[in-house]
Amino acid sequence: MTSGGQTSATSNRVVTVVQGVCAVSITPNGQDSVFAMGGDQVSFGFTITNAGNQAYTLPISATGSGLTPAPEVVLYLDTNGNGVVDAGETPVSSVNLPADGMAKVVARVQVATGTQGQALVNLVASCGNGGDQATATATVQVSPPPTLNVTKSFTPALVKPGTETTVNVSTTNSSTYASREVILTDPLAEEVAQGLVFVPGSASSNIGVIEYTADGSTWSVTAPNVVMGIRVRVDALAPAASINLTFKMRAEEKADGKKILNVATASSSGQSVSGQATADVRYLPGVAIGPVGKPLAPEGTPEDSQTRPFAVVGKELCFDHTVQNTGDVKDNFRITITFPAGAATTTLYGADGKALVQPIALNPNETALVRVCYTPTQASPIDARITVNGDRGTSNTTRDLVTDVQSGLPELKKSYVATSVDLQNQPITLKDGATVAVGDTVTYTLSVKNPYTRALTNVQVSDPIPAHVNFVSASDSGVRSGVQGEEVVTWNLGTLQPGETRTLTIVTKVSDRSVDGENLKNIFNMTSTELGTAPLPSNEVNTPVWNAQLIINKDVSSKLVVYGDRLTYTLRIRNASATTAIESATLTDVPMKGLLYLPGTATLDGKPLADPTIMNGVMQWNVGSIPASGEIVVTYDMRVTPEASGDLLNIATVTGVGAGGAAKAIASNRAQATAKLDPLKFAPLADLIGIVFVDRNRNGLFEAGLDTPVERARVILAGGRLVLTDTKGRYHFANVPTGTWALRLDPNTTPYPPLQKPQEGGLDGTQTVHVRGLTSVDFPLAPLGGDITAIRRTTLTMGDVKVEKAVYAVKDGYVVTIKITTPGALTDFHMEDPLPGGATLKEGRNTLSTNLSAGETNLTYHFDWTGAPNAATTDPIVSWRY
Question: Is residue 7 domain-resident?
Answer: no
Phi/psi of residue 191, each to 5°? Answer: -65, -45
Q: What percent of the chain has pLDDT over 70?
A: 91
Question: Is residue 583 domain-resident?
Answer: yes
Question: Residue 511 sits in which domain range?
Answer: 411-544
**Cα 121 from Cα 66, distance rounded (Å):** 9
Question: Is residue 1 domain-resident?
Answer: no
Are 94 and 185 in the same domain? Answer: no
Q: What local confidence, expressed as pLDDT, does residue 51 receive?
A: 85
Q: What local confidence, expressed as pLDDT, does residue 208 receive?
A: 93
**Cα 651 from Cα 673, distance rounded (Å):** 7
At 630, which CATH number? 2.60.40.740
Are 255 and 336 in the same domain? Answer: no
Instruction: From 354, 389, 406, give the residue that closes a domain.
Output: 406
pLDDT value at 497 more than 90: yes
Q: What local confidence, expressed as pLDDT, does residue 674 receive?
A: 67
Are 152 and 274 in the same domain? Answer: yes
The band of 263, judged by pLDDT with boundaries at 50, 70 and 90, is very high
Question: Is residue 831 domain-resident?
Answer: yes
How is 638-657 classified by DSSP, letter by letter?
EEE-TT--SEEEEEEEEEEE
Are 76 and 137 in the same domain? Answer: yes
The pLDDT tens digits of the residues spanning 289-299 come to 999 999 999 99
At 51, which CATH number? 2.60.40.10
| DSSP3 helix / strand / coil % (the chain, rounded to 5) | 5, 55, 40
**Cα 371 from Cα 375, distance rounded (Å):** 13
What are the residues facing 244 on neighbouring strands?
170
Total domains in the fold of the chain: 7
Question: Is residue 11 domain-resident?
Answer: no
Q: What local confidence, expressed as pLDDT, does residue 788 receive?
A: 45
Instruction: Answer whether the bond into residue 239 is a cis peptide, omega within 30°.
Output: no
Residue bearing the bigger pLDDT, 295 or 310: 295
Residue type, 412: L
Point out the least confidently predicted range of 96-110, 124-138, 641-655: 641-655
**Cα 629 from Cα 625, distance rounded (Å):** 12
Residue bearing the bigger pLDDT, 418 or 211: 211
Q: Is 413 exposed, middle or buried (0-12, 13-18, 19+ CB in 10 A)?
A: middle
Residue type, 641: T
Are 185 and 237 in the same domain? Answer: yes
pLDDT value at 12 more than 80: no
Are 515 and 573 in the same domain? Answer: no
Instruction: Answer whether the bond into residue 359 is a cis peptide, omega within 30°.
Output: yes
At 245, which CATH number? 2.60.40.1530
How is 304-316 classified by DSSP, letter by letter?
GEEEES-EETTS-
Instruction: From 628, 652, 678, give the residue that closes a domain.
Output: 678
Distance between alpha carbon 464 and the CA centroid of its chain, in Å? 38
Question: Is residue 362 domain-resident?
Answer: yes
Mean pLDDT of 565-594: 82
Question: Could you tell me if 364 and 329 are in contact, meaning their C-beta atoms sit under 8 angstroms apart?
Answer: yes
Are 130 and 195 in the same domain? Answer: no
Are 435 and 402 in the same domain? Answer: no
The pLDDT tens digits of the residues spanning 481-492 come to 999 888 999 999
At 857, which CATH number? 2.60.40.1170
pLDDT value at 59 more than 80: yes
Are 67 and 178 in the same domain? Answer: no
The pLDDT tens digits of the residues spanning 165-220 come to 999 999 998 888 788 889 999 999 999 999 999 999 999 999 999 999 999 899 99
Are 181 and 139 in the same domain? Answer: no
Report the candidate in 144, 139, 141 with the shortest Cα–Cα distance to residue 107: 139
How is 306-361 classified by DSSP, letter by letter?
EEES-EETTS-EEEEEEEEE-SSS-EEEEEEEE-STTSEEEEEE-TTSSBPPSSEE
- In the DSSP assignment, the letter for residue 578 is S
246: left (phi over 0), alpha (psi -120 to 50) or beta: beta
Point out the least confidently predicted range of 107-116, 318-327, 409-418: 107-116
Question: Is residue 479 domain-resident?
Answer: yes
What are the residues facing 794 on neighbouring strands?
805
- In the DSSP assignment, the letter for residue 754 is B
629: left (phi over 0), alpha (psi -120 to 50) or beta: left
pLDDT value at 801 more than 60: yes
Question: Is residue 211 domain-resident?
Answer: yes
Are 662 and 757 in the same domain? Answer: no
What are the residues facing 142 on neighbouring strands?
36, 117
The band of 758, judged by pLDDT with boundaries at 50, 70 and 90, is low
Report the candidate in 744, 587, 732, 566 with the shortest Cα–Cα distance to residue 652: 587
The band of 648, judged by pLDDT with boundaries at 50, 70 and 90, is low
Are 489 and 519 in the same domain? Answer: yes
Q: What local confidence, expressed as pLDDT, does residue 742 receive?
A: 87
How many Cα atoms sit within 13 Å of 683 on the Cβ side? 11
> Chain-wide mean pLDDT for the chain?
85
Instruction: From 406, 434, 469, give the residue that closes a domain.
Output: 406
**Cα 295 from Cα 318, distance rounded (Å):** 17
Name, of 4-18, 802-816, 846-860, the range with top average pLDDT: 846-860
